[in-house]
Amino acid sequence: MQGRQRRGLVVAAAAALVPALCQPTACQAQEHAAANAQASTSVVEGAGIQLQRDGDAVLLTAALNWSLPDLVQDALLKGIPVHFIAEADMLQERWYWRDEQLLSADRYMRLSYQPLTRRWRLYTGSQPFEGQGLGVALSSSFETLEEAVQSMQRIVRWRIGQVADLPSSGSAILQLRFRIDLSHFPRPLQIGALGRSDWNLLVTRRERVDLDKL
């Protein structure tokens, strides 16, 4: 019993010393570092869209709901790769002229089916694949088309520009577009796809962003 009392006294004494161990200057430094960490990352959210500041970068996270047209699925199953483009723009509205473009970024995707392995291959890059090949693109493999589509529907922490290129206050328009790039289809398919809605896929989102919160 006496041993328990002694241990209790030791714990109480150690707890009493904790405030003394944190000197004013050290505590101020810790608080300042915590404030800086909080200020370096801020988030603005819309319906299915999240715009985040991380250091000097502006990051976009979004979830887009869409489905592949049946003719596009048939082309994939026949071994024809399909290219997609995600386009993000930050615009500042101007009543006297067309909107000013503040930020702009593109993401390129190439989806293909591999009959021998029965797997789906998705390449993603920040530059068009022409001229640079697929070696510099991020590659992912999926067992089903549904898994590949779900991966393309989710945009996670995509860097679309720098904070320094945005005004420090006011509002801006975030415009997000996702579409099929028909120009990569074989020529006969391009001609047949023109003007036909069952070949086209276009998803657009437009959200107003409060730059004071970013």
Which residues are within 8 A (CB) of 207 and not within 5 positions of it... i.e. 6 or more apart?
Answer: 46, 47, 49, 173, 174, 176
Instruction: Indicate the DSSP class of residue 22.
Output: S
Record the pTM. Answer: 0.73
CA–CA separation, 2 vs 92, rounded Å? 74
What is the pLDDT, as a whole number, of residue 2? 41
The H or E element containing residue 208 is strand 202-210
Distances (CA, A) of 80 to 72, 95, 179: 9, 45, 17
d(CA 50, CA 33): 25
Match 């904790």 to its residue by tokens: 18
CA separation for the pair 40, 103 (Å, rounded): 19
Residue 86, exposed/middle/buried by CB under 10 A (0-12, 13-18, 19+)? buried
Question: How buried is residue 1: exposed, middle or buried, by Cβ count under 10 Å (0-12/13-18/19+)?
Answer: exposed
Decide: 182 and 195 in contact? Cβ < 8 Å: no
Please report, in tens digits, the pLDDT of each residue of the chain (214 residues total).
444 444 443 334 444 433 333 344 444 444 444 333 333 344 555 557 899 999 999 999 999 999 998 888 988 998 889 999 999 999 998 888 888 999 999 999 999 999 999 999 999 998 887 755 666 789 999 999 999 999 999 999 999 999 999 998 899 999 999 999 888 776 656 555 555 556 778 899 999 999 888 7
